[in-house]
Structure 1
Amino acid sequence: MIHFVILVSRQGKVRLTKWYSAYSQKERTKVIRELSSLILPRAPKLCNFVEYMGLKVVYKRYASLYFCICVDQDDNELETLSVIHHYVETLDRYFGSVCELDLIFNFHKFDLGCMQAYFILDEILLAGELQETSKRTTLRLIAAQEELVEVAKEQASTIGRLIAEATK
């Protein structure tokens, strides 16, 4: 089972977190701080697995981001690496060569900031388990979510105009 997913920059700034196990806010902050200090200084030629608090953290660096997934001690590291790679490839297809700024600002999408990265992660993983392995299906579902958001925005705008006219 996946306990959490953390994306952190080379400078140690957290770009995305998703928790599938119960951690208090204090514990989350501690985990992020400790994992950052454990993973960031590691040499590139070292293996991408570290033991942490009786669990296993599998990480992979893509450009300026470290993608870290914490799994049970007996889970397969290579399968976890393939989940990370699948997530990165899906992000790449969605954003067109994803970079850290896409996750932070996401200028060219519809005012949701890095929410698309969370939506994609939620389509791939469900409750800490791999749910969807098809990039095409994941992207189709994200496109459907975008359409729903646009419809909701239009409806909210219409309702706002009706309220404004009624209160004149």
Structure 2
Amino acid sequence: MIKFVLIVNKQGQTRLSRYYEQQDIQKRTLLESEVIKLCLSRSKDQCSFIEYKDFKLVYRQYAALFIVVGIDEFANEMAVFELIHNFVEVLDKYFSRVSELDIMFNLDKVHIILDEMVLNGCAVETNKTRILAPLLVLDKVGSS
């Protein structure tokens, strides 16, 4: 099960955070700073799976952005690793080469995409066309 999803830049600034378990704001802040520090300090040669406290971290780097997913110890790391890549492919398809600015200025749309893919910490959809369908409908309604 997925505990949280973070999108972070190389400077350690959180661009998106989504939690699937209730945590107070102080714990979130501390967790994010530790997780970000841990992921940013690793070299490209190191494994993208990290055991951290009572869960595991799976991360991928795309240009200047890191996407970090916290999962419980029973979740499949490779499946989550591929889910991250699928998420980025969907963002690329919607934004046509997604960038950090696209995420910052369209945070609501990025959350919609993530919500279509993950529900209550479980991956529920991987088909890019189905994931983007509600967002494209909203775009049509907004433009008319």
Q: TM-score range by the shorter chain?
A: over 0.9
Partner SS for 2:38: helix
Matches of 2:5 and 2:59 in 1, distance apart?
10
| Structure 1 partner of 2:59 | 59
Partner SS for 1:46: coil
| Structure 1 partner of 2:139 | 146
Q: How is 1:1-168 mapped onto 2 (pairs within 5 angstroms)?
A: 1-105=1-105, 113-148=106-141, 150=142
Which has the higher Rg, Structure 1 or Structure 2? 1
Matches of 2:27 and 2:139 in 1, distance apart?
34
Matches of 2:51 and 2:107 in 1, distance apart?
29
Unaligned 5+ segments in structure 2 are: none
Q: Percent identity?
A: 36
Alpha-carbon deviations, 1:63-98, whole Å to 9, x = none?
Answer: 110000011112111001011011000000000000
> Which amino acid counterpart does residue 35 of structure 2 have in structure 1?
L
Alpha-carbon deviations, 1:15-54, whole Å to 9, x = none?
Answer: 0000001110000000100001111010110000111121
Alpha-carbon deviations, 1:92-145, whole Å to 9, x = none?
Answer: 00000001111112xxxxxxx321111100011111101111101111121113
| 1:146, distance to aligned residue in structure 2 (A) | 2.6
Question: Higher relative CO (CA 8 A, sep ≥ 6), structure 1 or 2?
Answer: 2
TM-score computed with the length of structure 2 as normaliser: 0.95
Matches of 1:95 and 1:123 in 2, distance apart?
16
Matches of 2:22 and 2:91 in 1, distance apart?
26
Matches of 1:35 and 1:142 in 2, distance apart?
30
> Which amino acid counterpart does residue 74 of structure 2 have in structure 1?
D
> Which amino acid counterpart does residue 121 of structure 2 have in structure 1?
G
TM-score computed with the length of structure 1 as normaliser: 0.82
Unaligned 5+ segments in structure 1 are: 106-112, 155-168
